[in-house]
Structure 1
Amino acid sequence: MKDVYLLSGFLGSGKTTLLANIIAHFKEEGLKPAVIMNELGELNFDSQAVEEGVPLKEMLNGCICCTGSEKTEAQIQSLLAEQEFDVLIIETTGAAHPVEALDAVYSPLFADQLNIKGIITVADSKRWLMRHEMTPQTRSLFLEQIRHAHLLLANKSDLLSEEELAKVTFELQAINPHATLLQTVNAKVPLKMIKAMQATVRPEKIEKADLGGHLHLSSRLIDFTGQEFTQEAVEDWVRTLPETVYRMKGYIPIEGNRKPMLFQYAYGLIQWMPEFVKMDPKLVIIGDGMNQIDIIGQK
């Protein structure tokens, strides 16, 4: 199973510097990283940050989280089929919403091969203090990238006074109390903090849920092998789920159908589509606290 890290943050925040640092860390550990870089322009100048010999896929002219979602899936499938690597690092464009970026990466086609470790958001400390100068849309995205991070870097901290740095730290922690927050210069992070991240629900974590275990933004893979449901039963179950379930996609066995049906859920809307190829009956769920929700057909 391959560990996967998503790097989030605006252009100029230090995201690509972080990518280069992480690549160097993993290579020192004897691990082989692979990289997917996503940019909205036609040329990706940041690709020079990736060393020779590191498998690299570039996505240009499309955001990983919207029109590029299918391309992201294809790139990951290609890497899994063609390359030998131990860990996958995905640098998202600054326009990517964290939930949608996670959704684009975690496909039921290969979810059992990936271990999503989480989202590292690089926040430019000085830009944070000047966020009132941003457009409302840009400021909102900035806040979302911070709110959904699993590891949050208050980068370029050397450019702030002690008072300013304390203010940034307090405000970022108030927005996302779940994330580990580091004050960084040149996006330098100890590898042990990166490897300690965990945003994929594992069976042992599910068992501990009653003891208060809670994962912030996380993903969970459900296998429905040997089960069948009616569409009505599935939709009734969906209505019982909390609003913190943001996305679901996968293939669900439906009574009377020879092949599992494609099921998608987003923003409260359900979509069913017939599938003409027999797909594995697996469903990916993305949201907050996914280790604590009840799954249809499972106790």
Structure 2
Amino acid sequence: MKDVYLLSGFLGSGKTSLLSHLIEQFKTEGLKPAVIMNELGKLAFDSRAVDDGIPLKEMLEGCICCTGSEKMEAQLQMLLEGEEFDVLLIETTGAAHPVEAMDAVLSPLFASRLNMKGIITVADCKRWLDRDKMTPQTRMLFFEQIKHAHLIVANKIDLLTDAEILNVTMQIQALNDEAPIIQTSNSKIPIKLLKNMEATLHEKEVQEAAIGKQLSLSSRLHKFEEPVDQEAFEDWVRKLPDTIYRMKGYVPLKGHKNPFLFQYAYGMVQWLPEYMKMSPEIVIIGDQVDKLEIIGDVPND
């Protein structure tokens, strides 16, 4: 039996960072992890965080529950038949309902081969404080991801005061009093905390919150035809509406040979130099992204 962990959490919460930390720790223990990553956009930017040599399957353009359990079962079948691994980590898109995603994994086809250990939800503590600014639909999904977790990673506490950390922790615990809460920065948790997890579905009503149903979350691929000024680009980012939750990709900057890896989540940006000539494009995720005016006014695909 191979243990399976499902990583849940809203867009930009820190799931990919958690995935990277867990992969390294499993490898240190002599265990070979395999990964299934689900992207809301057309490009698998997050999958570049997975080391070479790690079996990886990708599901693009939609959450597991919306893409269909048949496609998920096919990915699992290919992993089980074609790869050697000891533990499976599944990172869902930030628009996925965790219970719907877990149901897709719990197929009778794999009952004797996969042991579903549970849902690990990464909760963005900073976003929690401003949850009332979210649309009702996205706020409900945010709550559902926390409500149905077996382990909660209260992430980004380094951005909060001690009083805010206490307040957030108590409020999240009130929403789900069955799951342990681990306070973290950069989603760093020891894998020993995962060993005693058990995926018993909570006796709670599951509210549907899948993309394509109540949610209007969508993704947009934007290609840059010319380098942009970094200061002007960051000024554009600061003026984005609250309904833009996540951006990631490669932005060509004036004065630099290669595009920079760019990440945006909840008002915070990160730039990292890239030493290869990556395609200059970003994926934008949020509500009504088709109406967003992008710097340079370059048409998207």
Query: Does TM, normalized by the shorter one, top 0.5?
Result: yes
Report deviation, 1:99: 1.1
1:265-276 to structure 2, matched below 5 A, reads none
For the residue of structure 1 that corresponds to 2:109, the secondary structure is coil
The reply to whether residue 72 of structure 1 matches residue 72 of structure 2 is yes
Paired residue type of 1:172: I
Larger relative contact order (C-alpha < 8 A, sep ≥ 6)? 2
Aligned to 1:96: 96
Letter in 2 for 1:39: E
Q: In structure 1, give the amino acid aligned to 2:168.
A: V
Structure 2, unpaired ranges of 5+: 208-301
Distance in 2 of aligned mates of 1:195 and 1:51:
23
| Cα distance, 1:46–1:176 mapped onto 2, change above 3 Å | same
- Give the Cα separation in 2 of the matches to 1:43 and 1:73: 21
Using a 3 Å threshold, how does the CA distance of structure 1 residues 51 and 172 change in structure 2: closer, same or farther?
A: same
User: What is the aligned length?
Assistant: 207
Q: Which residue of 2 aligns with 1:160?
A: 160
* 2:120 corresponding residue in structure 1: 120
1:31-79 deviations in Å (ceiling 9; x for gaps): 0000000012110100111001000000001210122321111000110
1:134-149 matches, within 5 Å, as 134-149=134-149
The Cα RMSD (Å) is 1.6
| CA displacement at 1:106 relative to structure 2 | 1.1
The separation in 2 between residues aligned to 1:151 and 1:83, in whole angstroms, is 28
Judged with a 3 Å threshold, the aligned counterparts in structure 2 of structure 1 residues 171 and 244 are, in CA distance, closer, same or farther, namely closer
Pairs within 5 Å for 1:227-242:
none
**Residue 109 of structure 1: SS of its match in structure 2?**
helix
Structure 2 counterpart SS, 1:77: helix
* Shift of residue 216, structure 1, vs aligned partner: 4.8
Deviation at 1:194, TM superposition (A): 1.4
Name the CA distance, whole Å, in 2 between partners of 1:31 and 1:198. Answer: 20
- 1:190 deviation in Å? 1.1
After the TM superposition, which residues 194-205 of structure 1 pair with which residues of structure 2 at under 5 Å, given as runs? 194-199=194-199
Partner of 1:173: 173
Deviations 1:80-113 (A, max 9, x none): 0000100000000011111100111111111221
Instruction: Kindly provide the CA deviation profile for residues 273-296 of structure 1, in whole angstroms up to 9, marking residues without a partner as x.
Output: xxxxxxxxxxxxxxxxxxxxxxxx
Equivalent residue number for residue 259 of structure 2: none
Q: What amino acid maps onto 2:62 in structure 1?
A: G
Q: 1:244 Cα shift? A: 5.9
Could you tell me which residue of structure 1 aligns to residue 50 of structure 2?
50
Do the aligned partners of 1:9 and 1:145 also contact (CA within 8 Å) in 2?
Answer: yes
2:60 paired residue number: 60
Mapped to 2, the partners of 1:167 and 1:110 lie a distance apart of 41
Deviations 1:230-249 (A, max 9, x none): xxxxxxxxxxxx88699xxx
Distance 1:140 1:58 in 2: 26
Match of 1:191 in 2: 191
Give identity over the alignment, percent: 68
**TM-score for both structures, normalised by structure 2:** 0.67
- The corresponding residue for 2:111 is 111
For 1:136-183, what per-residue CA distance to the aligned partner results, in whole angstroms no more than 9, with x for missing partners?
Answer: 000000000000000101100010001100110000000000001011
Give the match's secondary structure for 2:121.
strand
Q: Describe the SS at the equivalent of 2:64.
A: coil
CA change 1:170–1:70 in 2 (3 A) is: same
Unmatched 5+ stretches in structure 1:
200-214, 218-241, 247-299
Alignment of 1:10-29 (within 5 A): 10-29=10-29
Indicate the residue corresponding to 1:2 in structure 2: 2
Residue 89 of structure 2 aligns to a residue whose secondary structure is: strand
Q: Which amino acid aligns with 1:129?
A: L
On the 8 A contact 1:62/1:68 being kept in 2, the answer is no
Cα distance between partner residues in 2 of 1:187 and 1:74:
30
Match of 1:258 in 2: none
Contact 2:64-2:92 at 8 Å conserved across structures:
yes
Check whether the contact 2:6–2:118 (CA below 8 A) recurs between aligned residues.
yes
Say which SS state the counterpart of residue 65 (structure 1) adopts: helix
Alignment TM-score, normalising by the size of structure 1: 0.67
AA of the residue aligned to 1:27: K
Q: Structure 2 counterpart of 1:175, which letter?
A: L
Contact 1:120 1:149 in 2 (8 A): yes
CA distance in 2, matches of 1:80, 1:130: 42
Is contact 2:62-2:93 (8 Å) kept? no
Of the structure 1 ranges 164-173 and 103-112, higher mean CA displacement relative to structure 2 is found in 103-112
Do structure 1's residue 86 and structure 2's residue 54 form an aligned pair?
A: no
